[in-house]
Amino acid sequence: MQQRPTHLKLAALAFACAAPAAADHIEELVVTASHDTRVIDVTDAFSIAPDVTQLLKKAPGANVNSNGPITGIPQYRGMFGARVSTALDGMQLAPSGPNWMDPPLSYAVGGQLDSLELYRGIVPVSVAAEAIGGAVDARSSHGDFAGAGERRLEGRVIGSAATVNDAFNVNTALFAASDTQRLKLAAMAESGDDAEFPGGDVTPTEYERQRYDVGYGLRAGNHTLQLDYGYNDTGDSGTPALPMDIETIEGDLYRIGYTHDSDTQLRTQAALFASDLDHTMTNFELRSAPAPAMWRRNTASSDNLGFELVTQFAATQGSGWTFGVDGFSESHDSDIDNPNNPMFFVENFNDARREILGLFVERRQALGTDTRAEFGLRYNRVEMDADRVDATPARMMPPAQALRDAFNSADRERSDDNFDVTARAWMELSERSSLYIGAARRTRSPSYQERYLWLPLEATAGLADGNLYTGNIELDPEVSRQIEFGLDYSDQRLTLSPRVFYNNVKDYIQGTPSQDSAAVMLVRMMNSMNGTNNADPLQFNNVDAILYGFDMDWLLRLDEHWTLGGIVNYVRGQRDDSNDDLYRIAPPNTSLRITYQSARWGAELEGIAYAEQDDVSATNREQSSDGYALVNLLTTWQATDKLQFAAGVDNLFDKKYRPHLGGYNRAANPDIERGERLPAYGANVFARFMYNF
């Protein structure tokens, strides 16, 4: 079975610092740096942000595309969106919104997580079906079974508040267990108002959300059965980088998991999971409403069903096999209307379906006492289809009619046969250091937006570049060829883990100027009719791209109380078939943390710096951005073994800055121009308590 090495451990903090090691519940973020995975343990990690995705910034190579306060999309080494596989307890989830207002990690609850796992670099084929840009898995806490003959009841209450947006969060969880059964009941409620920045308010950035979870586990000998249900209810929430805001997101999440551990080092895992998600968004409720004729409401839904069956066999020390089969099916509907005009409608997506079935095998092999390797093979069958569409514009305007008829008469059924190969090796140089090398061929088929967006719209899975797009039924799968090199070093004082990587992506899916005369004519006609100035549309097409760079994390222990640590990230993304850069790539950045920890008190001072980003995409009309630096401060007090308090300030000096990954303002705002880069939040004083019982 898969082992998680623990010989390299970094103690860092998620907006926090460590409390005493003797305490029952430690206020810390433990980043376990192993050869093949980066595990961010946030069981008790402090995070004031409602968006769990923000924790990924604590891992080397990772960043976040932010379109709103609860709409963060993971970015890893320049790739984001569907290129980064994201799972909840191993469960895949396809967002209900065609613009990813509810990305997968928005369904994770920070106070209920055991860990947030980011697989560093090349992703093993057993971890994710399509992961050409990395993989993230949010692992929820289920509670532990009690010892033989024991009964246990325990829980946790967390409450927090912040000044920058008058936010609050209340999170509770109750666990009951015997040696054969366990039960989890959990609830969360949070909300915030529009956030402040030096110079005004960022509107709309208000949000509200509730979450309820029930879990039941049954253990009989070597067999374990786990059933989980979650209900998400998101209310009015702003997404200023997108053309609409969230009115509602409601969803049911189901999972049944089974594990069998035999006495012969054989483990079998099986899971069946599903989700039913409904989403409504508008352009007139939270932001200043346009003219009544331009009101838009999008009602969207997704139905997801998936499974996995994995067998792991540890043949000898350090060697073993993993075999598996997995599958995932998603179906999407999206309908646009105008409450002021019953005659207006757009079938954005009509039963757009995507199914993937995968088979994989993985071999771990010890090559002597100092070297080990891992090899993986995966085959994915991807099938897609969509039903016929219609819209009011297509009944009134010849260009829209031409687009509709071309889409409806096309053969929309597509299938891809994709093959992945991975190879990784580690060589111990000494007790303190080891070398790493990895190479892979990984693939991804188009998303339903990239293939079936028939009318020029911004339903682009959160690209947030302000361009109108159409899809392309004829798209080929992306093929990524990756190689990376690394060093891991750790002694009693210093730990560091640098990586150099290169990724050549054939048939990279990118918006390019549309050659469809009907799409171009339609956009120009709409500009003339509505007084808008939208650029000519883009169409998703296959191009070639390369991404390369360097990332590293490090930690220096000064003495028993003081540590220094930080991260360095650099990535460059370029078109390989033209003289242009890729869109929305994180600028070079670094962080430095100095941490103090005593018996019951802790403190951390963190400095973060981002360089300017002028390597931007001309195709996407991307704006360059300035560099900036800011300081964060946190203190913690372990009042008792069960009660902990924390307080601090983010952006201590109230710095005004505009993150490159923060998107452009799309809403009427007296303090921010339309199309201007959105500013980050100003100084934010926060506090939190956590009580365990």
Report helix, strand and coil shares of the chain as percent, to nearest 5: 10, 55, 35
In 3D space, the residue among 610, 592, 571, 551 whose CA is nearest the CA of residue 33 turns out to be 551
Query: In the numeric block, which tokens belong to residue 218?
Result: 């049954």
Q: So what's the pLDDT on residue 3?
A: 36
Residue 689 pLDDT exceeds 90: yes
In 3D space, the residue among 284, 662, 286, 201 whose CA is nearest the CA of residue 465 turns out to be 662
Residue 33 pLDDT exceeds 70: no
The pLDDT of 606-626, averaged and rounded, is 97
Q: Flag the least confident range among 25-34, 99-108, 119-128, 531-540.
A: 25-34
DSSP 11-45: EE-SSS----TTSSS---EEEEE-SS-EEEE-SS-
Query: In the numeric block, which tokens belong to residue 77?
Result: 């080494």
CB of 112 closer than 8 Å to CB of 141: yes
Q: What are phi and psi of 531, to 5 degrees?
A: 70, 25
What is the CATH code of the structural domain delimited by 140-692?
Answer: 2.40.170.20
| Helix H or strand E encompassing 494 | strand 494-513
- Residue-wise pLDDT for 80-120, tens only, equals 999 999 999 989 999 999 999 999 999 999 888 888 889 99
Q: Which residues 6+ apart lie within 8 Å of 98 measured at CB?
A: 298, 300, 332, 334, 348, 349, 449, 453, 459, 460, 461
- Residue-wise pLDDT for 208-238, tens only, equals 999 999 999 999 999 999 999 999 999 999 9
In 3D space, the residue among 394, 384, 389 whose CA is nearest the CA of residue 408 turns out to be 389
Query: In the numeric block, which tokens belong to residue 467?
Result: 């361009």
| Domain range list for the chain | 140-692
C-alpha distance from residue 243 to each of 218, 239, 646, 666 (Å): 46, 8, 37, 6
Q: So what's the pLDDT on residue 44?
A: 52
- Residue-wise pLDDT for 19-29, tens only, equals 323 333 323 33
Query: Look-up: residue for tokens 């690209």?
Result: 463
Residue 317 pLDDT exceeds 90: no
Residue 662 pLDDT exceeds 90: yes
Residue 11 pLDDT exceeds 50: no
- Residue-wise pLDDT for 45-67, tens only, equals 566 889 999 999 989 999 999 99
Burial class of 363 by CB neighbour count within 10 A (0 to 12, 13 to 18, 19+):
middle
Q: What are phi and psi of 348, to 5 degrees?
A: -65, -55
E strand segments, 181-296: 181-192, 195-197, 200-202, 207-220, 223-234, 245-261, 266-282
In 3D space, the residue among 9, 59, 16, 55 whose CA is nearest the CA of residue 32 turns out to be 9
Q: So what's the pLDDT on residue 633?
A: 96
CB atoms within 10 A of CB 472: 21
d(CA 110, CA 156): 13
Cα separation of the two ends of the chain = 34
Which residue intervals of 60-155 are DSSP H helices?
none
Burial class of 640 by CB neighbour count within 10 A (0 to 12, 13 to 18, 19+):
exposed
| Residue 593, helix vs strand vs coil | strand
Which residue intervals of 256-351 are DSSP H helices?
none
CB of 296 closer than 8 Å to CB of 282: yes
Residue 12 pLDDT exceeds 90: no
CB atoms within 10 A of CB 103: 25
Structure confidence at residue 41 as a pLDDT band (50, 70, 90):
low
| Residue 639, helix vs strand vs coil | coil
Q: So what's the pLDDT on residue 94?
A: 96
CB of 116 closer than 8 Å to CB of 190: no
CB atoms within 10 A of CB 673: 11
What are the residues facing 338 on neighbouring strands?
A: 341
DSSP 345-371: EEEEEEEEEEEEEEEEEEEEEE-SSSE
Query: In the numeric block, which tokens belong to residue 209?
Result: 């959300």
E strand segments, 339-477: 341-366, 371-385, 414-428, 433-444, 469-470
Give percent of the chain above pLDDT 90: 88
Which residue intervals of 410-516 are DSSP H helices?
448-452
Give percent of the chain above pLDDT 70: 93
Q: So what's the pLDDT on residue 4?
A: 35
CB of 370 closer than 8 Å to CB of 428: yes
The pLDDT of 320-333, averaged and rounded, is 97
Q: Compute the chain's Rg from CA coordinates.
A: 25
Query: In the numeric block, which tokens belong to residue 594?
Result: 């100095």
Q: What are phi and psi of 660, to 5 degrees?
A: -65, -30
Whether residue 50 is preceded by a cis peptide bond, meaning omega within 30 degrees of 0, is no
Q: So what's the pLDDT on residue 116?
A: 87
C-alpha distance from residue 150 to each of 176, 177, 215, 223, 228 (Å): 11, 8, 20, 19, 23
Residue 654 pLDDT exceeds 80: yes
Residue 469 pLDDT exceeds 50: yes
- Residue-wise pLDDT for 559-607, tens only, equals 999 999 999 999 999 999 999 999 999 999 999 999 999 999 999 999 9
The verdict on pTM exceeding 0.85 is yes
245-261 vs 266-282, strand pairing mode: antiparallel
Q: So what's the pLDDT on residue 110?
A: 85
135-140 vs 85-88, strand pairing mode: parallel
d(CA 541, CA 298): 26
Indicate the average pLDDT of the chain: 92
Q: So what's the pLDDT on residue 611?
A: 98
Query: Look-up: residue for tokens 């015997």?
Result: 178
Sign of CA dihedral 201, 202, 204, 209: negative
